[in-house]
Chains A and B, each alone.
Chain A
Amino acid sequence: MDLRVVLAGLFMAAGCFFLIVAAIGILRFPDFYTRMHPAGKADTLGQALIIAGLIIYWGINLVSVKLLIIALFIMVANPTAAYALANAAYASGVKPWKKGEERK
């Protein structure tokens, strides 16, 4: 086995782990604003890691440039979308969950 393939596999495994954790977080956290945290962070990193794994596997050429563009776009767009969601919810008066309250 090639070292590059192993490295790509490691990156993709780490990315899959973060995506699963993001999904679990979105299911487990008690309210909308806390769910923003896994959606904005772990999801972004997970996708970036998987795409980084694909780039390592593929080497440097036009395909990996496209992958890089996708990864960079996700890294800008994902937090922006999370911000837009949080801002819309905040503006429409969704109350943040406080410690000790019932989960919603």
Chain B
Amino acid sequence: MFTAAALVVAFAAVLVLYRAIKGPRVYDRLLAVNVIGTKTVVLLALIGFMYERPYFLDVALVYALINFIATIAFLKYRELGRLD
């Protein structure tokens, strides 16, 4: 069950990857990367269940935080040209 769900999530991420490659704008790419990132969080949680290692959840939580901060930081940099 977890394997099937993980495969579906990975397939969805591959579909979105097409948008990240094609663009056309930088915002489309960022949107796609952000969506792939949040799918990765779910994928990590599912992998933790597949191999019965709950420690993966900590990785997923940290990845969710990093993904969010990265998107915001990139947008801020693009808008202001600096990060302080």
B41/A50 in contact, CB under 8 A:
no
Q: A50-B42, A70-B61, A85-B71 are in contact. Are A22 and B35 (CB under 8 A)?
A: yes
Within 8 A of B (CB), among A27-75: 27, 32, 35-36, 39, 43, 47, 50-51, 53-54, 57-58, 63, 66-67, 69-70, 73-74
Chain A, interface size: which category?
A: 35 or more
How many residues of chain B have a CB within 8 Å of chain A?
40
> Cβ of B9: which chain A residues have Cβ within 8 Å of it?
16, 19, 50
Assembled-state Cα–Cα distance A69/B38 (Å): 14
Q: Which residue of A lies closest to B32 (CB)?
A: A26
Q: Does A91 contact B (CB under 8 A)?
A: yes
> Cβ of A32: which chain B residues have Cβ within 8 Å of it?
25, 27-28, 31
29 contacts between A and B (CB under 8 A): A15-B5, A20-B11, A20-B12, A22-B12, A23-B12, A23-B15, A26-B15, A32-B27, A32-B31, A35-B28, A39-B34, A43-B35, A47-B38, A51-B42, A51-B45, A54-B45, A54-B46, A66-B57, A70-B57, A73-B64, A81-B71, A82-B31, A82-B34, A84-B72, A85-B75, A88-B78, A88-B79, A89-B27, A94-B27
